[in-house]
Amino acid sequence: MFNLILFGPPGSGKGTQSEKLIARYGLKHLSTGDLLRSEIAAQTPLGLAAKSIMDKGQLVPDEVVIEMINSALENNPSARGFLFDGFPRTTAQAEALDKLLSQKGTEIALVLALQVSKDELVARLLNRGKTSGRSDDTNEAVISSRIEEYEKKTAVVGEYYNKFSKLVKIKGEGTIDEIFDALCSEIDAKSAA
Ligand code: AP5
Ligand code: MG
């Protein structure tokens, strides 16, 4: 199995690059943001509870997303590997993920961290907000909260994986194809090692 984390702040291009990476490498894409938005669309109790938190730009509780990832891992027993997007977002989530993967006899191979300036993040998200229908994209104060949550709670997850020499920083500004090529080079180097 080859398990990859695509890491980075809101708007850094995780979703965009994930689509291309899963097509090239045949990984199963697990985005906790997408899973939560499906719960909201289906108006489940979990979705309704998560919506008010997401609309403020805050993180939903660790237990909720860890359980969603646990179920997704259980439901995909024949996956050749997973691409985690937007998860883990706290050290507790990272520790829980390591545990879940080790129970399956596997681990995270690589964490690719997209580096994008704050001004560019805000510009991208406001621009996407014109068409995405995502309520957390339309208001600059909510976008700022999402970036603050990242800085306060999520950036440490990069340091967590850096301790295990799994973190590689990638320039996240430039064309989508340039960034994709840089990501692929790291994956190819790692899977050949
Ligand atoms: P989530 O859905 O994960 O959103 P996010 O991390 O805030 O990031 P985005 O999905 O907005 O950005 P992205 O990095 O995927 O960039 P994208 O490719 O779309 O989370 C939403 C909420 O759910 C959270 O706030 C939280 O409440 C909750 N949540 C989710 N996971 C959680 C967890 N694990 N724990 C707790 N809570 C959780 O690109 C953005 C835009 O830029 C697009 O318009 C794209 O077209 C454009 N773009 C992409 N690449 C480029 C480029 N190279 N140049 C120019 N534009 C580009
Ligand atoms: Mg995304």
**Two structure tokens written together for 149:** 């949550």
From the DSSP assignment, how many helices (H) and strands (E) are in the chain? 9, 5
pTM over 0.95: yes
pLDDT at 109 over 80: yes
Q: In this predicted structure, what is the pLDDT of residue 188?
A: 97
Return the half-sphere exposure (C-beta side, CA atoms, 13 A cut-off) of residue 177.
Answer: 0
Residue 30: exposure state from Cβ atoms within 10 A (0-12, 13-18, ≥19): buried
Mean pLDDT of the region 33-49: 96
pLDDT at 180 over 80: yes
The answer to whether residues 170 and 186 touch, using CB atoms and an 8 Å cutoff, is: yes
**Two structure tokens written together for 31:** 């985005």
124 belongs to the catalytic site: no
pLDDT at 119 over 90: yes
**Distance from the alpha carbon of residue 16 to the mean position of ligand 2, in angstroms:** 7
> Model confidence at 132, in pLDDT bands (50, 70, 90)?
confident
Residue 193: exposure state from Cβ atoms within 10 A (0-12, 13-18, ≥19): exposed
Minimum-distance ligand 1 atom for the alpha carbon of 61: 36
> Model confidence at 191, in pLDDT bands (50, 70, 90)?
confident
**Distance from the alpha carbon of residue 15 to the mean position of ligand 1, in angstroms:** 6
